[in-house]
Amino acid sequence: MGQVVLVTGVARQLAGRFVRRIQRDPEVDRVVAVDAVPPEHHLGGAEFVQADIRQPTIARVLAESSADTVVHMDVTGTPLGSGSRATVKETNVIGTMQLLGACQKSPDVRRLVVKSSTNVYGSAPRDPAVFTETTPAKSLAGGGFAKDTVEVEGYVRGFARRRPDVAVCVLRFANILGPTADSPLASYFALPVLPTVFGYDPRLQFVHEDDVIDVLRIAAHDPRRGTLNSGTFNIAGDGVLLLSQCSRRLGRPTVPLLLPAVTWAGSLVRTLGMTDFSPEQIRLLTHGRVVATDQMRETLGFAPRYTTAETFADFARSRGPGLLPPEALAGAVDRIAALSPGGSGHLPTDSAN
């Protein structure tokens, strides 16, 4: 008998892609796709079950499916359709609690894969240059998706203690980008002009949506070893990009603002519905975040196909040209930097543009 894989959050494009991909694997017999709303995209030959993971009915769905592998992808920072932030939080936290409770009762479940985020580390002025999987956050998340992921991972650790017979794998993804990316950061980069925090040029990491699908497959079943690598893993493409480099490659000018003005601008664009410019995103765009991926390569055995720069390039191509040609924008930024106090050393050069 092959695997029976249950996947949550399949109404979202990324989870839908994973469902379509994993059902083609020879190790998989059945895929059960679960969400509270029917997806607008097709799911191949997967069995769709309309169920809300926030409700106890998820236990019945899990029991009736006899799933031995659960891939929990319904942990996200963006609402679906007309959903609210409160609904997202309930799904992230309450939904995870209900799902884990169902997994704890199921004698069939042997593998659990959870989609998490490097947001658990936060973004703070005294952060280390690079976070490893065991580095504690320097500042506690006060709210938003970062707080959700911290709570979700806490519940997952509790489940792992109660069910040591279940292999548990938590994947902490860096910012996911690609042609179909739907995230607050993707919406930010889609703005015609990018508000930035004056005096800061944060380092950012990205992971391509194609690599997300590939590493989820490895986590769900490793054909080389036949077992799931348990543990927590940072997932990101090699290298980093500065925010100034991102703006140049997009051809979108930046508007440096003092931090209070950025906070006000964030409230404005949220009110206008342009993007979810949350306080945690403002902290990321101030202090940045970089994680180590040694465990991803050495223990999980995964090497991303896309670097951070290649991921952003693919994302930028899908968004079309910005207001200014990248070469012209780079020259303008450098001229402004040369006129700033202290000379031209404040903004990094970007020969690749």
- Which residues lie below 8 Å from residue 15, measured CB to CB, with a gap of 6+? 7, 8, 9, 33, 35, 73, 74
Provide the pLDDT for residue 331: 54
120-151 residue pLDDT tens: 999 999 999 999 999 988 877 777 888 999 99
| Between 44 and 277, residue with greater pLDDT | 44
Distance in angstroms (rounded) separating the CA atoms of residues 279 and 31: 37
Cα dihedral: 172, 177, 179, 181 (round 10): 70
Provide the pLDDT for residue 1: 73
Confidence class for position 83, pLDDT limits 50, 70, 90: low
Triad 270, 273, 279: Cα angle to 5°: 20
Give the mean model confidence (pLDDT) for residues 156-185. Answer: 94
pLDDT at 256 over 60: yes
**What letter does residue 168 receive in the DSSP assignment?**
E
Q: Phi/psi of residue 131, each to 5°?
A: -90, 135
pLDDT at 332 over 60: no
Q: How far is CA 85 from the centre of its chain?
A: 16
| Between 229 and 19, residue with greater pLDDT | 19
User: What predicted TM-score, i.e. pTM, was given to this entire model?
Assistant: 0.87
| Between 121 and 324, residue with greater pLDDT | 121
Q: How far is CA 304 from the centre of its chain?
A: 15
Lowest-confidence pick of 235-239, 264-268, 287-291: 264-268
Provide the pLDDT for residue 62: 97
Distance in angstroms (rounded) separating the CA atoms of residues 257 and 12: 34
Q: What architecture is the 3-176+207-235 domain classified under in CATH?
A: 3-Layer(aba) Sandwich (3.40)
pLDDT at 192 over 50: yes
Lowest-confidence pick of 62-71, 145-154, 323-332: 323-332
With CA atoms as reference, report the closest residue to 115 among 222, 2, 11, 215. 215
Confidence class for position 279, pLDDT limits 50, 70, 90: confident
Provide the pLDDT for residue 351: 40
> Residue 278, Cβ neighbours under 10 Å: how many?
18
Lowest-confidence pick of 154-168, 195-209, 213-227, 314-328: 314-328
At 91, the amino acid letter reads T
pLDDT at 344 over 90: no
Provide the pLDDT for residue 316: 94
Give the mean model confidence (pLDDT) for residues 311-340. Answer: 65
300-323 residue pLDDT tens: 999 999 999 999 999 999 887 655
3-state secondary structure 186-251: HHHHCCCCEEEECCCCCEECEEEHHHHHHHHHHHHCCCCCCCCCCEEEEECCCCCEEHHHHHHHHC
* Torsion over CA: 22, 72, 183, 222 (sign): negative
* % the chain with pLDDT above 90: 67
Provide the pLDDT for residue 347: 38
Domain boundaries, the chain: 3-176+207-235
pLDDT at 37 over 90: yes
Give the mean model confidence (pLDDT) for residues 68-87. Answer: 83
| Between 167 and 344, residue with greater pLDDT | 167
With CA atoms as reference, report the closest residue to 303 among 211, 228, 220. 211
Provide the pLDDT for residue 264: 64
